[in-house]
Amino acid sequence: MQLIISEKPSTAKIIAAVVGASDKEYDGKEFCYKGNGYYVVNARGHLYSLGMPEDYGYSKVYRLDELPMFPTFELFPECDSTNGLRRIIAKLINLSEVESIICATDAGREGELVFRHIYNANKCTKPVYRMWCNSMTDEAIKKCLENLPPDSEFDGEYKAALAREQSDWLIGMNLSRLYGVMDNYPHRVGRVKTPVLSIIVQRDKEIDNFSKTTSYRLEMDNGALSEQVYATKEEAERMLAESKGTDANVQSAITENKSKNRPLLHSLTTLQQEANRVYGYTAKEVLEAAQSLYEKKFTTYPRTDCNYISEDMRGKVIAWTIVNKVDK
């Protein structure tokens, strides 16, 4: 038997249907899919985390003499509401009939971190293979399952995500406590929010201190503007007076042929920007909508900065193009 661990319930359901794991096996309120030589179970985002300072023996009350904190990081359950999931996954991982595990979490560094935390927290040593799918079509899943590389090939993704997680902890926990002690206020300092807040404050200061200035140009009857910009109206009027009644000679003309590439497909960032500009959607709303469409197999994996579709979609794009040309 092989155990497939996905990141979300909807993904587990799709994969189970593809591999033929049609039976449900319950453990309390949680369940997994079973059949055709597979168990399929889902996490629900991060089930394990680096914990809080008090998990490493530091005081829950902020204390200056304990800073900076540099613990030897361990894994702790993320929250009590996911205890059932941790229990059923641990049970499946340790089944003697499960010979190997397939990591089917999201195709990205964060998905890799979700799985590695589960694997390491359960002290598992069974071989692991990676199902790296950028789309949830049946064809894409089948193709990935036919050629599963060892998960060790994705160690770089895991190490990058782990470094980000640990640096977030060190920066956030230490600075939050430091500023909390300094002014007796429960700050939340972070790698992302704090720099963004700084940018907003700096921009607000620039707007508050902005001084409006006016510049002038000369305009001909045909609408052509002078290249020269004049700082004062008097200077522009003086040049206008000197120019009246004189001829203007064209000294040079430049003709350029320009081409413009077709627009690339949307990455998550460009999609969020466009949806905000046109419809006023927030980044969170766009992500939730894109994730829902992905789980319904209407789009490719949305949590990416890639502007291209995956190779497994090539046939569908060609077929769609041919059909639409015929229809026209």
Catalytic position from the list 56, 58, 301, 308: 301
| Residue 301 annotated to the active site | yes
Give the number of other Cβ atoms within 10 Å of residue 115's Cβ: 25
Residue whose structure tokens are 């914990």: 51
* Beta strand ranges found along the chain (DSSP E): 2-6, 23-27, 30-35, 38-42, 48-49, 76-77, 100-104, 128-130
- List the structure tokens of 47: 């089930």
Strand order in the sheet with 30-35: 23-27, 30-35, 38-42, 2-6, 100-104, 128-130
Give the Cα separation of 33 and 237 in Å (integer). 82
- Residues near 72 by Cβ (< 8 Å), separated by ≥ 6? 56
Closest by Cα among 119, 100, 97, 109 to 43: 119
Strands 38-42 and 100-104: unpaired
- 117 within 8 A of 48, measured Cβ to Cβ: yes
- List the structure tokens of 129: 């293979």
- 185 within 8 A of 62, measured Cβ to Cβ: no
Closest by Cα among 55, 94, 91 to 72: 55
Known catalytic residues are 301
